[in-house]
Amino acid sequence: AGRVVSYAEFGARVAVLARELIAVGVGPEVAVGVSSERSVEFVVAVHAVVAAGGQYVPLDTAAPLERVGYM
């Protein structure tokens, strides 16, 4: 089983990361790649990208670096 977080903690973490993403230019029509194993951090990252207005692009952690770079 994975780590458990409350809705309040989850929402706070999403909000912090979303603000950071917006500060570096994430917004409409900006794709953000997320490469992570399934975890709380992964779900926070995906939600933060969407909250910032960006587009989530899943990147396979097992893919060769050349493929990830292309994506």
- Report how many domains make up the chain: 1
By residue range, what is the domain housing residue 45? Answer: 7-70
Residue 18: inside a domain: yes
Residue 1: inside a domain: no
Phi–psi pair at 58, nearest 5 degrees: -75, 135
Neighbours of 10 (CB within 10 A): 15
Q: pTM of this prediction?
A: 0.84
pLDDT digits (tens, 9 = 90+) for 9-63: 999 999 999 999 999 999 999 999 988 888 899 999 999 999 999 999 988 666 6
- CATH code at 34? 3.40.50.980
Residue 2: inside a domain: no
Whether the CB-CB separation of 34 and 56 falls below 8 Å is answered with yes
d(C-alpha 70, C-alpha 21), whole Å: 21
